[in-house]
Amino acid sequence: MTNAPAATPATPPAGRSAPGAFGHVDTWIFDLDNTLYPAACNLFAQVDVRIGAYIAQALGLDAAAAKRLQKDYFRQYGTSLRGLMLNHGVRPEPFLDYVHDIDVSAILPQPGMADSLAALPGRKIIYTNGSKGHAENVMRRLGVADHFHAVFDIVAADFTPKPEAAPYTTLIQRHAIDPTRAVMVEDIARNLEPAAALGMATVFVDTGSPFSLPNPEAPSQIPAYVQHRITDVPAWLAQVAAEVGG
Give the residues lining the site for Mg ion (CB under 5 A).
31, 33-35, 187
- Compare residues 31 and 153 and give the one whose CB is closer to Mg ion: 31
Taking the complex as a whole, how short is the minimal distance between the CB of residue 130 and Mg ion, in angstroms? 9
CB count within 10 Å of CB 116 equals 23
- Compare residues 35 and 227 and give the one whose CB is closer to Mg ion: 35
Taking the complex as a whole, how short is the minimal distance between the CB of residue 69 and Mg ion, in angstroms? 23
CA atoms of 29 and 199, how far apart (whole Å): 13
CA atoms of 52 and 71, how far apart (whole Å): 9
Taking the complex as a whole, how short is the minimal distance between the CB of residue 31 and Mg ion, in angstroms? 4
Using an 8 Å Cβ cutoff, are 190 and 212 in contact? no
Taking the complex as a whole, how short is the minimal distance between the CB of residue 6 and Mg ion, in angstroms? 32
Using an 8 Å Cβ cutoff, are 227 and 185 in contact? no
* DSSP code of residue 172: H
- Compare residues 90 and 186 and give the one whose CB is closer to Mg ion: 186
- Amino acid in the structure at residue 203: V
Using an 8 Å Cβ cutoff, are 188 and 213 in contact? no
- Compare residues 41 and 177 and give the one whose CB is closer to Mg ion: 41
